[in-house]
Copies of this chain bind each other. A is one copy, B any other.
Amino acid sequence: MRLSKYYLPTLKEKPAHAKIISHQYSLRAGLIKQIASGIYSWLPLGLLVLKNIEDIIRDEMDKSGAIEVLMPCVQPANLWRESGRYDDYGKEMLRIKDRHEEDMLFGPTHEEVATDLIRDVVKSYKDLPLCLYQIQWKFRDEVRPRYGVMRGREFLMKDAYSFDVDYEGALNSYNLMYKTYIKIFKRMGLTPIGVRADTGPIGGNLSHEFHILANTGESTLYYDNKFSELLESEDVESLKSIYAVADDMHDPETCPISQEQLNVSKGIEIGHIFYFGDKYSKPMKASVTSQDGKNVNIHMGSYGIGVSRLVGAIIEAFHDDKGIIWPESVAPFRIGLINLQTKVTEAADKIYKALKSDEVLYDDTEGSVGVKFSRMDLIGLPWQIIVGKKAIDEKIVEVKNRATGEVKEMQIEEAINHFSTK
């Protein structure tokens, strides 16, 4: 993509109202634009990141056997009256009356719709297990939205719903999602920590929050040293069994592991998984005939990932004082190609044409060298190819790794080959 044909409104100055790094950089790097409190438009560069995150999630969800659906944003209140949550939900639910004075709402979550989706169809244990997921915009009317896409009102979420005939099946579904989440976050270059979460009135130990490590994170995580090596093996049973909690669940007095074994790090919550039995299936009458001929309520779980929130969380995890440092798997473009002067346009054009245009953002604009360098650092593409005056006689360009800052000289042909393969 040629920058001269692109829409990338970057900001030089830090917006005064943006308190945290990811909010500042997502505005400054032209990823988003606020249109109302907690509501954003996604600009071209931000949308590319969002889609890359979606693609990774979709790929791993599909591999797990979950099936993608898409439920609507606007839901009828009646489904929530059936589950008993309509009156309880409070002011975070955006309530709507349609032209016929019917009570509707902009879905903050989709347990009711998902249960309704399958209850007339799934009738036998033979139809199970089943796991449906969607990636859909949701709305929570936060009283004080802040931190940009980290805590927006309209936000994109991946939510999955598992349906099983019994507890054992539900546990398998739960563990499969736990493992899938580990895979998803690792592919984004993140270190996920699954911490035990309060299950509220449901009880049991089947609720985990997933936080990713980030020095600027809002939560403090306390977890066993062994967590990191178990992450490698993706051994879910062991991961679930060792000590790992966030601040709200940690008590130094009762902590079962020694100080030496305890890791304390900052993190950001980006996912939450639950098993909740028949909380929805019972009131909403979603049942199946079991293998021994009984009518049983379906055992359900739900599994969320904050997709738009992840854009912020990844920036919190990967940045420096110059800007964002995107992991390659989610970067909007892999390469930033910088043309430093009109004399080298021929060389820079040649490189651009040799590479895949959707992998390269080509700064072909007229402008000062300083502006070009700082903008490219700000938007944080993993690699920069800098075409300066050495490109003319010596056919040499500089290749810079944005994360390490390391710069290497390469022959033009060598650089083209290097970035064409892979």
- By a beta-carbon cutoff of 8 Å, the part of chain A in contact with chain B is 5-7, 9, 33, 35-36, 39-44, 47, 50, 65, 67-76, 79, 91-92, 94, 96, 98-99, 102, 104, 106, 113, 116-118, 121, 130, 132, 137, 139, 141, 143, 153-154
Contact = CB atoms under 8 A, between A and B. Distances in A.
Contacts of A7: 67, 69, 118, 121, 130, 132
- Majority-rule SS of A interface residues: mixed
A132 B96 CA distance: 30
Q: State the copy count for this chain.
A: 2
A132 B44 CA distance: 9
A359 to B, nearest CB: 14
A143 B132 CA distance: 32
A29 B174 CA distance: 30
Given A41-B117, A74-B106, 6 more contacts: A5-B65, A35-B79, A39-B75, A47-B70, A74-B153, A137-B137
A43 B133 CA distance: 10
B76 A36 contact: yes
Contacts of A106: 73-74, 96, 106
19 contacts: A5-B65, A6-B67, A7-B69, A9-B121, A35-B71, A39-B76, A43-B69, A44-B68, A47-B68, A50-B70, A73-B106, A73-B154, A74-B94, A74-B154, A96-B96, A96-B106, A98-B141, A99-B143, A137-B137
Contact of A99 (B73, B118, B141, B154): B141
Contact of A94 (B5, B75, B96, B132): B96
B74 A117 contact: no
